[in-house]
């Protein structure tokens, strides 16, 4: 199947592409900001490797957000 140019895409196809790009950018930005702000002891593995891995689209940001972080310890009230 031949690749279509942007001008050859229908309106709904263009909307789908723009939506997918927006979701990928939002996930990547969210993961990078979280990684930068999160202490190293709350990250599974090395932060530098996660920073590179986040750019492996589309799985990198999803893997980091789902598996790459430890939940912060909760304060015990008593």
pLDDT, mean over the chain: 92
- Residue 17 included in any domain: no
pTM of the model: 0.82
Which structural domain range is residue 60 located in?
Answer: 23-68
Return the pLDDT at 78: 59
- Residue 38 included in any domain: yes
- Residue 44 included in any domain: yes
- Residue 39 included in any domain: yes
Return the pLDDT at 70: 86
Q: List phi, psi (to 5°) of 46.
A: -90, 135
- Residue 78 included in any domain: no
- Residue 35 included in any domain: yes
Q: Report d(CA 16, CA 22) in Å as an integer.
A: 10
Q: Which residues contact 19 (CB under 8 A, 6 or more apart)?
A: none
The pLDDT tens digits for 29-59 are 999 999 999 999 999 999 999 999 999 998 9
């Amino acid at each position: 199947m031949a690749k279509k140019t942007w001008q050859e895409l229908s309106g709904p196809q263009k909307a789908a592409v723009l939506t997918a790009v927006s979701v990928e950018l939002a996930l990547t930005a969210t993961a990078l900001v979280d990684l930068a702000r999160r202490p190293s002891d709350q990250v599974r593995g090395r932060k530098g490797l996660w920073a590179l891995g986040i750019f492996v689209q589309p799985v990198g940001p999803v893997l980091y957000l789902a598996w790459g972080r430890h939940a912060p310890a909760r304060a015990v009230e008593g």
